[in-house]
């Protein structure tokens, strides 16, 4: 779901033949470049690189020449918090650039689904192997509902939440910039290696690395695929062992330029998390539809345990937050975003919010509206 915190960009063409990025927050230095700007990406992104990522994605999509632009950015999403602040920069920059190229409603020119997909596919320019969920939530969300997101093709479904469900966002005071760390990309590569092993096991010729696609094509239920994972997927392999198992060519298909340095891979526990988390999504949707807020909390707690133990993307501070809030009446709590710091999302019954008034929190939110444009 989208949240009340937001990223806002004021955009206009300028006559200086320069690209100018400014930020209301003085700790972020303004950035400027004459056109043509030679930017082709960054492996250690600064705030301006995220804007350039969205800008370049749209220019390439529209086959547009560069032109002078001025962006002024203001945001209330805490950086490196797991609340998709970096993806929001890409999305608002892309939308602002598009609005300076086309007239009228930009989503009459490109569908929201295709726009979200374009933003996600642009993020490798800043070193992130994004799966696309952050961008989809930011672009497709509707006020008052959660969003079920599926991929290939990207599609979404609004999910009504129980009226008494309230979400509290709590910062762990530990920040991890996923664009500046290998942890996030390492999990992506481990999932791809598992996909290669399962494709060989099921004699599948699909080019997809998505474990959901592999499960669907194999015709296996969640229970069946989890059993197979336990039986045939090794827990941990070195790079040489992976090559011995699937071949160097198949490993090369999994890697990207900035992930070739990886030498060890955890596989079974990563696959167990991905498949079990996908199953929890199905169960969570059912719990929402039946207004079973307690079951929603049970599933959130199970999700966090899986993130912490199998995917190893939590941290001591996030674990402590989840434990603290559940002790004070929360129905469920889990980390949000890439993990390794940032925020936890806590599910409360509205009548119980008073129980946590003295506990630290960032804000309380109902589901918010996705990205939109105001022309003036």
Catalytic residues: 134
Per DSSP, the residues of 9-46 read: EEEEE-SSSEEEEEESSTTS--EEEESSP-----SS--
Record the tokens describing residue 299, joined without a space: 């599933």
107 Cα distance to chain centroid:
22
Report the candidate in 91, 197, 193 with the shortest Cα–Cα distance to residue 138: 91
d(CA 308, CA 306) in angstroms, rounded, equals 5
Report the candidate in 113, 178, 129 with the shortest Cα–Cα distance to residue 370: 113
Query: Rounded to 5 degrees, what are φ and ψ at 240?
Result: -65, -40
d(CA 122, CA 46) in angstroms, rounded, equals 16
Peptide bond into 153 cis (omega under 30): yes
Exposed, middle or buried by CB within 10 Å (0-12, 13-18, 19+), for 134? buried
Residue 360: how many other CB atoms lie within 10 Å: 12
Report the candidate in 70, 128, 52, 149 with the shortest Cα–Cα distance to residue 338: 128
d(CA 327, CA 310) in angstroms, rounded, equals 23
Helix (H, G, I), strand (E, B) or coil at 145: strand
Q: Are 306 and 276 in contact (CB under 8 A)?
A: yes
d(CA 294, CA 330) in angstroms, rounded, equals 10
């Amino acid at each position: 779901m989208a949240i009340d915190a937001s990223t806002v960009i004021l955009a206009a063409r300028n006559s200086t033949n320069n690209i100018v990025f400014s930020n209301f927050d003085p700790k972020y230095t303004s950035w400027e470049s004459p056109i043509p700007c030679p930017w082709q990406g960054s492996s250690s992104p600064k705030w301006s690189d995220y804007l350039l990522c969205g800008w370049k994605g749209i220019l390439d999509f529209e086959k547009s020449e560069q032109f002078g632009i001025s962006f002024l950015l203001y945001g209330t999403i805490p950086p490196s918090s797991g609340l998709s602040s970096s993806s929001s920069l890409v999305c608002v920059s892309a939308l602002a650039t598009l609005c300076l190229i086309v007239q009228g409603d930009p989503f009459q020119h490109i569908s929201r689904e295709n726009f979200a997909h374009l933003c996600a596919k642009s993020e490798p320019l800043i070193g992130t192997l994004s799966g696309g969920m952050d961008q989809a939530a930011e672009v497709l969300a509707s006020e008052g509902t959660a969003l079920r997101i599926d991929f290939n093709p990207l599609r979404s479904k609004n999910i009504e939440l129980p009226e008494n469900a309230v979400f509290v966002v709590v910062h762990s005071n530990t920040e991890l910039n996923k664009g500046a760390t290998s942890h996030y990309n390492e999990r992506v590569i481990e999932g791809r290696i598992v996909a290669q092993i399962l494709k060989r096991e099921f004699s599948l010729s699909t080019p997809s690395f998505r474990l959901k696609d592999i499960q669907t094509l194999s015709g296996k239920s969640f229970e069946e695929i989890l059993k197979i994972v336990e039986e045939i997927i090794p827990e941990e392999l070195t790079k040489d062992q992976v090559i011995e198992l699937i071949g160097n060519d198949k490993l090369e298909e999994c890697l990207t330029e900035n992930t070739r340095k990886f030498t060890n891979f955890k596989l079974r526990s990563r696959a167990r998390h991905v498949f079990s988390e996908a199953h929890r999504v199905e169960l969570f949707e059912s719990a929402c539809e039946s207004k079973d807020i307690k079951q929603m909390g049970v599933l959130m707690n199970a999700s966090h345990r899986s993130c912490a133990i199998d995917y190893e993307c939590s941290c001591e501070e996030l674990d402590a937050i989840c434990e603290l809030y559940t002790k004070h009446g929360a129905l469920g709590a889990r980390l949000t975003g890439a993990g390794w710091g940032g925020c936890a999302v806590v599910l409360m019954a509205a009548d119980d919010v008073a129980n946590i008034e003295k506990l630290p929190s960032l804000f309380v939110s109902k589901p918010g509206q996705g990205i939109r444009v105001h022309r003036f």
